[in-house]
Amino acid sequence: MDPRPRRAWVTVPVAALSFALLAAAVAGAQQRPVPPGFLRALRDGHPRLIVDAARLDELRALHERDATLQRYFADVLAGADAALQRPPLEHRLRGPRLLQVSRDALDRVRHLAFAWRFGREPRYRDGALACLRQVCAFDDWNPSHFLDVAEMSHAVGLGYDWLYPDLDEDQRFELRRALVRLGLRPGVAQIEADAWWTRTQFNWNPVCFGGLLVGALAVADVEPEWAERIVPRAVERLPRALAMYDPDGAWAEGPAYWGYATRYVMHGLAALQTALGTDFGLGHGSGLRAAGHFPIHGTGPTGAYFNFADASTNARRGPLGELLWLSRRFDDPALAVAEHAFLGQARATPTHVFHYVPLPAEAAATELDRLFEGPVPVASLRSAWGDPDAAWLAAKGGRNDVNHGQLDASSFVFEARGVRWASDLGSDDYELPGYFDGKPGGRRWSWFRNRSEAHNVLLALGDDGTPIEQPVAADVHVERFAIREKCAFVVFDTTSAFAARVAEARRGLGLFDDRQRAIVQDELRLTAPSALRWAMTTAAAIEIDADGRRAVLRLADRELSCELLAPDDARFSTRAVERRQPEATNTGYRQLLAEIPAGRRSVRVTVALTPAGTTAPPPRVTPLGTW
DSSP codes, 242-282: HGGGTTTS--TT-HHHHHHHHHHHHHHHHHHHHHHS--TTG
Catalogue the E-assigned strands of 412-501.
Answer: 412-416, 419-422, 458-460, 475-483, 488-493
Count the Cβ atoms, other than its own, within 10 Å of residue 441: 9
Mean pLDDT confidence for 521-531: 95
Band (214; pLDDT cuts 50, 70, 90) = very high
pLDDT single digits (tens) 36-85: 999 999 999 999 999 999 999 999 999 999 999 999 999 999 999 999 99
Q: Whole-prediction pTM value?
A: 0.92
Catalogue the E-assigned strands of 449-501.
Answer: 458-460, 475-483, 488-493
CA 275, 276, 277, 279 torsion: positive or negative? negative
More confidently predicted of 450 and 21: 450
CA angle 10, 11, 17 (to 5 degrees): 135
pLDDT single digits (tens) 347-386: 999 999 999 999 988 877 789 999 999 899 999 999 999 9
Strands laid side by side in the 392-396 sheet: 370-372, 378-382, 392-396, 412-416, 419-422
Band (1; pLDDT cuts 50, 70, 90) = very low
Mean pLDDT confidence for 501-515: 96
Q: What pLDDT sits at residue 25? A: 40
pLDDT single digits (tens) 93-144: 999 999 999 999 999 999 999 999 999 999 999 999 999 999 999 999 999 9
Q: What pLDDT sits at residue 543? A: 98
Cα–Cα distance for residue pair 604/374, rounded to 1 Å: 28
Q: What pLDDT sits at residue 270? A: 98
CA angle 492, 520, 500 (to 5 degrees): 55
Q: Is the pLDDT of residue 505 over 80?
A: yes
CA 619 to chain centre: 35
Task: List the end-to-end C-alpha distance of the chain, in Å, as a whole number.
Answer: 75
Q: Is the pLDDT of residue 197 over 50?
A: yes
Amino acid making up residue 108: R
Band (388; pLDDT cuts 50, 70, 90) = very high
Q: Is the pLDDT of residue 589 over 90?
A: yes
Q: Is the pLDDT of residue 6 over 60?
A: no
Strands 488-493 and 475-483: antiparallel
Band (15; pLDDT cuts 50, 70, 90) = very low
CA nearest neighbour of 534 among 411, 423, 618, 616: 411
Cα–Cα distance for residue pair 14/577, rounded to 1 Å: 49
Q: Is 511 helix (H, G, I), strand (E, B) or coil?
A: strand
Count the Cβ atoms, other than its own, within 10 Å of residue 419: 23
Structural domains in the chain, CATH included, are 29-354 (1.50.10.100), 370-612 (2.70.98.70)
Q: What pLDDT sits at residue 365? A: 78
Angstrom distances, CA of residue 198 to CA of 142, 216, 270, 289 = 18, 16, 20, 23
Q: Is the pLDDT of residue 16 over 80?
A: no
Mean pLDDT confidence for 464-480: 96
Contact 456, 439 (CB under 8 A): no
Band (13; pLDDT cuts 50, 70, 90) = very low
